[in-house]
Amino acid sequence: MGKRKRVAVDQTAQDEGQKLLPQKRFYRQRAHANPFSDHTLDYPKSPQHMDWNAHYPGAAPGKRPEFADIGCGFGGLSMTLAPLFPDSLILGMEIRVQVSQYVQDRITALRTANHGDPTAHYQNVSIVRANAMKFLPNYFAKASLSALFFLFPDPHFKARKHKARIISPTLLAEYAFILRPGGIVYTITDVKDLHDWMRTHLENFPLFDTVSEEQLRAEGKGDIVDAVYTSTEEGKKVERNKGEKWLACFRRIEVARI
């Protein structure tokens, strides 16, 4: 097949994919959900009860997610990372019904546009509707993840609602459990008070060390950092409004310091 004809075929596939992509206006709902409410969720009894093969066509048997995007929203980060890390499984977790359905439909459309080829991009990305504050250990085994993402989480401005923030000492123990030594927690927000809250709690937790953006880029994680800044709907909104973003990243260490 000549180069010009091959380019035309590729463009046709892209056009078909665009037609299949779901429209966000049909999936809108509230910006945030109450994590303490009963959301009628189905979840596995343990990580061993989770059938990942149903989520990732073509993945090797026993292969499990390596990246987890907590509160993934409309899936911008997950979709950006999928082609960058074709050998890693990426999982978005979202509690809102309509939003999680949008991401699922988006993944289906992108896979269809790639003609179901198990080696094509987007076979390595999936989503579950889940309450990460309650059921995260039901999905991920000890030291199974290399990256956890908390991008523009609900700030819960009122002091009486701070207990609902996704970063807290109790939850950090769970994050440290499922993150392998050397794994990275990525946080970003446009709310300075929330940034200070997340940074301070992570700095004070004995199983995490601060890692700078410069160090991450030097380690070859620049593509991930760029995606954290720019791939989400919230991040793009902050840019349009010429707002400021605060990034804080932390590495899971091997042994707690005493």
Is 116 labelled as part of a ligand binding site? no
Is 244 labelled as part of a ligand binding site? no
Is 53 labelled as part of a ligand binding site? no
With contact defined as beta carbons under 8 Å apart, do 202 and 168 qualify? no
With contact defined as beta carbons under 8 Å apart, do 226 and 173 qualify? no
Rg (CA), the chain: 19
Token reading at 134: 């309650």
Is 94 labelled as part of a ligand binding site? yes
Is 66 labelled as part of a ligand binding site? no
Is 172 labelled as part of a ligand binding site? no
Q: Which helix (H) or strand (E) holds 6?
A: helix 3-20
With contact defined as beta carbons under 8 Å apart, do 193 and 154 qualify? no
Is 131 labelled as part of a ligand binding site? yes
Of the residues 87, 154, 209, 226, which is catalytic? 154
The three-state DSSP-derived secondary structure of 101-139 is HHHHHHHHHHHHHCCCCCCCCCCCEEEEECCHHHHHHHH
Is 141 labelled as part of a ligand binding site? no
Give the C-alpha separation, 41 to 85, whole Å. 29
E strand intervals along 45-143: 67-70, 90-94, 125-129
With contact defined as beta carbons under 8 Å apart, do 230 and 196 qualify? no
154 catalytically annotated:
yes
Q: Which helix (H) or strand (E) holds 170?
A: helix 169-178
Is 151 labelled as part of a ligand binding site? yes
With contact defined as beta carbons under 8 Å apart, do 117 and 17 qualify? no
Question: Known catalytic residues?
Answer: 154
Sequence ranges of the binding site for S-adenosyl-L-methionine: 71, 94-95, 131-132, 151, 232-234
